[in-house]
Amino acid sequence: TSRSGLTDTIAAIATAPGSAGVGIVRVSGPNALAVADGAFVGKRRPSRTAGGRFLFGQLVGADGEILDEGLCLIFRGGRSYTGEDVAEFQTHGSPAVLARVLARALELGARPARPGEFTLRAYLAGRLDLAQAEAVLGLVEAQTDAARRQASLGLSGALGARVTRIAANITRTLAAIQAMLDYPEEGVPDEDRAAPLAAAEADLTALVQSARAGQISARGARLALIGRPNAGKSSLLNALLGYERSIVTPIAGTTRDYLEAGLELAGVPVTLIDTAGLRDTADEIEAAGVRQAHALAERADLVLALEDGSEPREALPADLPHGARVLRVQTKADLPTAWTDPVVLRVSAVTGAGLPELRDAVHAALIGDAARGEAWLTTERQADAARRALEHVQAAVHLPDDLAGYELEEALRALSDLTGRDVQEDVVDAVFRNFCVGK
Ligand code: GDP
Ligand code: ZN
Name the class of domain 10-127. Answer: alpha beta
CA 361 vs CA 139, 303, 340, 354, 368: distances in Å: 27, 12, 22, 11, 10
**143 in contact with ligand 1, CB cutoff 6 A:** no
The DSSP code sequence of 179-228 is: HHHH-TTT---HHHHHHHHHHHHHHHHHHHHHHHHHHHHHH-EEEEEEES
Query: Does 91 carry a binding-site annotation?
Result: no
Which element (helix H / strand E) includes 304?
strand 302-308
Nearest one of 295, 286, 284 to 224, comparing CA atoms: 295
> In the 8-state DSSP scheme, what is residue 96?
H
Query: Which residue has its alpha carbon closest to ligand 1 atom 15?
Result: 250
250 labelled binding-site residue: yes
Of the ligands numbered here, which is closest to the C-alpha atom of 256?
2
- Rounded Cα distance between 192 and 176, Å, is 6
57: which strand partners? 42, 70
Predicted TM-score of the model (pTM): 0.69
Ion ligand 2 neighbours, Cβ < 5 Å: 233-234, 255
Architecture per CATH, 128-439: 3-Layer(aba) Sandwich (3.40)
The CA distance from 136 to 116, in Å, is 10
**All structural domains of the chain with their residue ranges:** 10-127, 128-439
How far is the centre of ligand 2, averaged over its atoms, from the C-alpha of 228 (Å)?
9
Report the phi/psi class of residue 337: left, alpha or beta, with left for phi > 0 and alpha for psi in -120 to 50: beta
For ligand 1, atom 21: residue with the closest CA: 332
Written as one letter, the residue type at 183 is: Y
pLDDT of 381 reads: 84
Write the residue with the smallest CA distance to atom 25 of ligand 1. Answer: 332
| Per-position pLDDT tens, the chain of length 439 | 344 456 899 999 999 888 899 999 999 999 999 999 999 999 999 999 999 999 999 999 999 999 999 999 999 988 999 999 999 999 999 999 999 999 999 999 999 988 778 888 888 888 888 888 888 888 887 777 778 888 888 888 888 899 999 999 999 999 888 888 887 776 666 677 788 999 999 999 999 989 888 888 888 888 988 888 888 988 998 888 875 454 444 444 444 456 677 777 777 888 888 876 555 555 555 566 566 667 777 788 898 989 898 888 776 665 666 655 888 899 999 998 878 777 779 999 999 999 999 988 988 888 877 767 788 898 888 899 999 999 999 999 888 888 999 999 999 999 988 887 765 555 444 444 443 332 2
Q: How far apart are CA 230 and CA 356, in angstroms?
A: 22
Judge if the beta carbon of residue 234 lies within 6 A of ligand 1: yes
Q: Do domains 10-127 and 128-439 have the same CATH topology?
A: no
Q: What is the pLDDT of residue 424?
A: 54
Structure confidence at residue 323 (pLDDT): 57
Task: Answer yes or no: is the ipTM higher than 0.90.
Answer: yes
Nearest to 32 by CA among 9, 57, 2, 59: 9
- Kindly give the distance from the C-alpha atom of residue 339 to the centroid of ligand 2, in angstroms, as a whole number: 23
Residue 345, ligand 1, Cβ within 6 A = no
